Amino acid sequence: MIAAIVPAAGRSERMGRPKLILPIGGVSVIARVTTALREGGADPVIVVVSPAWVPGAAALAAEAARAGGSVVVAPQPPPDMRASVELGLDRLAQVPAPSPATFLLAPGDCPGIDAPLVARVIARAVAEPLAIIIPQARGRRGHPVALPWPLAAEIRTLPGDVGINHLVARHAAQVVSIEVDDPVMLDDLDTPEDYRRWSSAALDEGGPENDHEDDHREERIVRVTVRLFAMARQQAGRAAVDLDVPEPATVANVKRALAVACPELARLVPQLMIAIDADYVRDEERPIPPGAEVAAIPPVSGGWHHERARSAP
């Protein structure tokens, strides 16, 4: 399994508005990139976003999660891309699996990344786990980049004022380029002019410009009904509780709101699993889709917290 880290906490200064939730061909930039990484074989796809009070950040987190991303919300807006990458690496280190041999890095503002390119980079990285794999067209470098895991540790040791490019320069001998036919695939999205170009390119592809995204979504409160069972139901004295949760209504936010609304459950809440539409959710940052059925699941008698691998031998 090769994970991808998507730094998506930039301030979109040159665009003048949150660029990663802009639609291209009817799909937000962040959803395009997340989907391409997943379909190309990356798992998990860790998207690092700014805290919800940053304009557009909540919508961005929701879009990334809807596309299957595993969202990491930075406690403070990360000052640079490297800081976002480090938060992504922290999350990756928590995944209970052997350290990966390599991981992908793909900034959110690269709408040209598609699944076949991701698959090529992954295939090459699997074949050469010690190489830095970089897509390139006519000498210009792009993303996603595959970095060997040992370099992850090195990112933290870089001097404060240098970026990840410095790491690539330091290990130039390990770089393996993958040639990409269409240099446009490596273009990023920084300015309104870039956006016009990407949008019209998507129109040329026949993709309808279906701009249903609300670029400047306000902070909102969502009503979430949580079903309660067993000890939780008995202690709360009811089988369901309505919660007002600030957007994004992540699993973590719902648990927090549950402990506030039902103080008698405070002791139990950390032990509860949340199920969305009858499936356990392990990612606490996952937003709850509107209309989903949400349930608080106390540990079952066999004990999910010492759950063995679910798959049969």
Partner 1 sequence: MIEITEAPIDHAALTERVRSNLAGAVCTFLGTVRELTAQRRTARLEYEAYPEMALKKMTELEAEARRHWPIIEIALVHRVGRLDLGEVSVVVAVSCPHRQQAFEACQWLIDTLKEVVPIWKKEVWADGGEEWVHPGIEPPPR
Q: Determine the distance from the C-alpha atom of residue 294 to the mean position of all C-alpha atoms in its chain, rounded to a whole number.
A: 22
| Residue of 24, 275, 281, 294 that binds partner 1 (CB under 8 A) | 275
Nearer to partner 1, 191 or 271 (CB): 271
| Residue of 108, 231, 242, 253 that binds partner 1 (CB under 8 A) | 231
CB atoms within 10 A of CB 214: 10
Nearer to partner 1, 121 or 296 (CB): 296
Nearer to partner 1, 74 or 228 (CB): 228
Instruction: Give the interface segment with partner 1, choosing from 146-154, 159-167, 249-257, 291-299 (CB under 8 A).
Output: 291-299
Beta partners for 279?
Answer: 276
Binding of residue 303 to partner 1 (CB under 8 A) = yes
Handedness of CA 172, 178, 184, 187 (dihedral sign): negative
* Cβ atoms of 258 and 241 closer than 8 Å: yes
Q: Residues near 65 by Cβ (< 8 Å), separated by ≥ 6?
A: 47, 71, 248, 285, 286, 287
Binding of residue 311 to partner 1 (CB under 8 A) = yes
Binding of residue 96 to partner 1 (CB under 8 A) = no
Instruction: Give the interface segment with partner 1, choosing from 154-162, 185-193, 240-248, 305-313 (CB under 8 A).
Output: 305-313
Binding of residue 310 to partner 1 (CB under 8 A) = yes
By DSSP bridging, strand 23-24 and strand 27-28 are antiparallel
Binding of residue 160 to partner 1 (CB under 8 A) = no
Q: Residues near 129 by Cβ (< 8 Å), separated by ≥ 6?
A: 101, 102, 148
* Cβ atoms of 226 and 240 closer than 8 Å: yes
The full length of the chain comes to 313
Binding of residue 225 to partner 1 (CB under 8 A) = no
Nearer to partner 1, 54 or 259 (CB): 259
Site string for partner 1, 241-270 (x = CB under 8 A): ---------------------------x--
Residue with tokens 């066999």: 302
Closest CA to 110 of 122, 102, 119, 118: 118
Residues that bind partner 1 (CB under 8 A): 227, 229-231, 233-234, 268, 271, 275, 278-280, 293, 295, 297-308, 310-313
